[in-house]
C-alpha cells in the first residue's frame, strides 16, 4: 500500500510498560523501510526517554490505542513535543488473528498509521479535560447518593415503615424530620405524623398508618449511618458544582445558548460542553456529531440489502445527559419537542422516541453553537402547519368512523358570512 507517513511511531501501552515501534526509510537500502521496536517503562522518566528517542528519529506522527486510562500519561507528555498525536479506537486497529503480542500490536498499529488507515479520536484541550473530570465525578457522586437513598428506603421497608408510599420524597423536610425522630427513639405514629409540613399535613391519617411499624434500634443505627453518608455526598456534590461553575466561566456564552433548549439546564449544559468540547467545528455536519454521540442508526448493508444496524456505541456520559434532557423536553408544555416525542412514541415506542429527541437536541445544539444563536422554538403546531392535508385527512377518517361527515371552510369566509 502507498506510504503516506514517512516517519511514524505507534505505542502499545499497558500499566507497566510501553512497546514503541518506529517505521522510517532505511538509509542503507533505497526504497525500503526499517522498523525498530523498543520497550520503555510507563513511569515519567522512562516516558521522557521515549520522547527523546522519537525526536531523534524525527518522527512526525505518533499513534496509540485508547486503552483504559493508560494512554493518558504518554499522550500528555508527548503533546507538547510537536508530534501529531493520534488516539485511535482499538476496534479500528484490530489486527489479524494469531501472533497476538504487545510487540506485534505496536508494529501493526505503526503499519496502519504509515498507510493512513486510522481515524483519530477527539482529545479535548486541557480546560475541557478538567471540566470533563469534574462533571463525570459529579455524575458518579449523584448516582452514589441515589443508591444510598435506595438503601434507606430498603431499611424502612424492613422495619414495616411505608413512608415512601405516602411521601413523594422521603429525604424532604418532613421525611428527614420523621426519620430523625425515629432514630432518636420516638415510636408513636401520631407524634411522628404531626412532624409533617405543608401539603403533607393533609395526609395525616395515611401517615399514621405508614409510620406504624416495627422500627428497632438496629434500624435506627442503619438509618443514622445512611443519612450521614447522604449528607456527606450532598456536601461533595455542592463543592464539585461550585468548582464546575468556576471552570465554566470561559464558556458562559455557550451555556446561555444551551439553557434556552427545553429540557436542558445548567448541569446538562456543563456535561454537553465537557463531552463535546463546545467547539462544533470539530464536526463537519450535525449528522457527524449525532453519529459520534451514538444517537443515530448504524449502517449495515450487504448485497444491496440494508439491514437493521442498531445504535452504535457512543459517549456514555453524553448519552446519559441527552437522555435526561430528552425526557425533560418530552414533559414540557406547548413545545415542538414534546409534540415530536408523542407522535413518535405512538408509532415506534417510547425508547425509540427518546433516541429521536436526543438526535433532535444534538442537531439543534450543532446549529446553535456553529452560528452563535439561541434555540428557536418551532411550536407544537409545527407538524400541523407543515402537513395540513394530512391533518384534514386524519380528521375526516376519524369522523367517518363515527358515521359523520366533515366539511372544511376557510375561517375568513365564515367570518365574512357572519
> CB–CB of 86/118 below 8 Å?
yes
Q: Nearest Cα to 73, choosing from 8, 134, 14?
A: 14
What's the grid cell of residue 85?
498525536
User: Which DSSP letter does residue 172 get?
Assistant: S
Res. 92: pLDDT tops 80 = no
Segment 232-287, tens digit of pLDDT: 999 999 999 999 999 999 999 999 999 999 999 999 999 999 999 989 999 999 99
More confident residue, 313 or 397: 397
Q: How far is CA 373 from CA 260, 316, 380, in A?
A: 10, 27, 21
**Cα(304)–Cα(374) distance, rounded to whole angstroms?**
42
Confidence band for 122, pLDDT divided at 50, 70 and 90 = confident
Q: Nearest Cα to 210, choosing from 261, 175, 166, 266?
A: 166
What's the grid cell of residue 81?
513535543
> CB–CB of 57/34 below 8 Å?
no
Res. 413: pLDDT tops 80 = no
**Burial of 305 from C-beta contacts in 10 A (0-12 / 13-18 / 19+):** exposed
Based on its alpha-carbon atoms, the radius of gyration of the chain, rounded to whole angstroms, reads 30
Q: What is the 3-state secondary structure (H, E, C) of 56-98?
A: HCCCCEEEEECCCCCHHHHHHHHCCCCCEEEEECCCCCCCCCC
The confidence score (pLDDT) of residue 99 equals 65
**Cα(270)–Cα(325) distance, rounded to whole angstroms?**
12
Chain mean pLDDT for the chain: 90
| CA 4 distance to own-chain centroid | 35
Cell match 407524634: residue?
A: 191
**Burial of 174 from C-beta contacts in 10 A (0-12 / 13-18 / 19+):** buried
φ/ψ region of 379 (left if φ > 0, alpha if ψ in -120 to 50, else beta) reads left
Res. 52: pLDDT tops 90 = yes
Res. 417: pLDDT tops 50 = no
Segment 207-225, tens digit of pLDDT: 999 999 999 999 999 999 9
The confidence score (pLDDT) of residue 147 equals 97
Res. 103: pLDDT tops 50 = yes
Confidence band for 418, pLDDT divided at 50, 70 and 90 = very low
Please compute the mean of the pLDDT values over residues 363-370 and round it to a whole number.
Answer: 96
Res. 68: pLDDT tops 70 = yes
> CB–CB of 127/250 below 8 Å?
yes
Please compute the mean of the pLDDT values over residues 323-349 and round it to a whole number.
Answer: 94
Q: What percent of the chain has pLDDT over 70?
A: 97
**Cα(104)–Cα(101) distance, rounded to whole angstroms?**
5
Give the β-pairing of 305-306 and 301-302. Answer: antiparallel
> CB–CB of 293/317 below 8 Å?
no
Res. 61: pLDDT tops 90 = yes
pTM value is: 0.86
> CB–CB of 191/181 below 8 Å?
yes
CB atoms < 10 A from the CB of 183, how many?
A: 17
**Cα(271)–Cα(321) distance, rounded to whole angstroms?**
7
**Cα(107)–Cα(51) distance, rounded to whole angstroms?**
18
Amino acid at each position: 500500500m502507498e506510504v503516506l507517513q514517512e516517519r511514524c511511531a505507534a505505542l502499545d501501552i499497558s500499566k507497566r510498560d510501553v512497546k514503541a515501534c518506529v517505521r522510517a526509510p532505511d538509509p542503507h537500502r533505497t526504497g525500503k523501510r526499517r522498523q525498530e521496536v523498543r520497550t520503555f517503562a510507563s513511569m515519567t522518566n522512562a516516558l521522557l526517554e521515549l520522547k527523546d528517542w522519537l525526536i531523534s528519529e524525527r518522527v512526525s506522527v505518533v499513534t496509540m490505542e485508547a486503552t483504559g486510562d493508560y494512554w493518558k500519561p504518554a499522550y500528555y507528555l508527548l503533546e507538547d513535543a510537536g508530534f501529531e498525536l493520534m488516539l485511535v479506537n482499538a476496534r479500528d486497529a484490530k489486527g489479524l488473528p494469531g501472533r497476538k503480542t504487545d510487540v506485534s500490536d505496536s508494529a501493526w498499529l505503526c503499519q496502519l498509521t504509515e498507510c493512513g488507515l486510522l481515524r483519530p479520536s477527539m482529545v479535548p484541550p486541557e480546560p475541557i479535560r478538567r471540566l470533563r473530570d469534574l462533571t463525570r465525578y459529579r455524575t458518579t457522586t449523584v448516582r452514589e447518593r441515589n443508591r444510598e437513598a435506595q438503601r434507606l428506603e430498603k431499611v424502612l421497608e424492613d422495619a414495616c415503615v411505608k413512608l415512601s408510599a405516602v411521601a413523594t420524597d422521603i429525604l424532604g423536610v418532613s421525611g428527614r424530620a420523621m426519620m430523625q425522630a425515629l432514630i432518636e427513639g420516638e415510636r408513636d405514629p401520631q407524634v411522628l405524623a404531626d412532624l409533617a409540613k405543608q401539603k403533607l399535613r393533609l395526609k395525616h391519617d395515611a401517615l399514621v398508618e405508614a409510620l406504624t411499624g416495627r422500627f428497632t434500634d438496629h434500624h435506627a443505627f442503619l438509618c443514622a449511618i445512611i443519612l450521614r453518608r447522604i449528607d456527606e455526598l450532598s456536601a461533595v456534590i455542592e463543592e464539585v458544582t461550585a468548582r464546575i461553575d468556576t471552570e465554566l466561566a470561559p464558556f458562559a456564552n455557550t451555556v446561555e445558548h444551551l439553557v434556552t433548549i427545553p429540557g436542558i439546564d445548567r448541569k446538562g449544559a456543563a456535561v454537553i460542553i465537557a463531552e463535546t468540547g463546545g467547539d462544533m467545528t470539530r464536526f463537519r455536519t450535525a449528522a457527524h456529531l449525532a453519529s459520534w454521540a451514538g444517537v443515530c442508526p448504524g449502517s449495515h448493508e450487504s448485497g444491496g440489502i440494508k439491514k437493521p444496524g442498531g445504535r452504535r456505541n457512543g459517549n456514555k456520559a453524553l448519552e446519559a445527559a441527552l437522555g435526561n434532557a430528552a425526557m425533560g423536553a418530552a414533559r414540557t408544555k406547548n413545545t415542538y419537542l414534546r409534540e415530536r416525542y408523542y407522535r413518535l412514541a405512538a408509532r415506534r415506542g417510547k425508547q425509540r422516541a427518546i433516541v429521536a429527541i436526543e438526535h433532535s437536541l444534538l442537531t439543534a445544539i450543532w446549529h446553535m453553537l456553529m452560528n452563535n444563536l439561541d434555540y428557536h422554538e418551532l411550536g407544537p403546531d409545527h407538524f400541523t402547519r407543515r402537513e395540513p392535508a394530512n391533518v384534514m385527512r386524519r380528521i375526516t377518517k376519524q369522523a367517518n368512523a363515527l358515521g359523520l361527515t366533515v366539511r372544511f371552510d376557510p375561517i375568513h369566509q365564515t367570518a365574512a358570512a357572519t
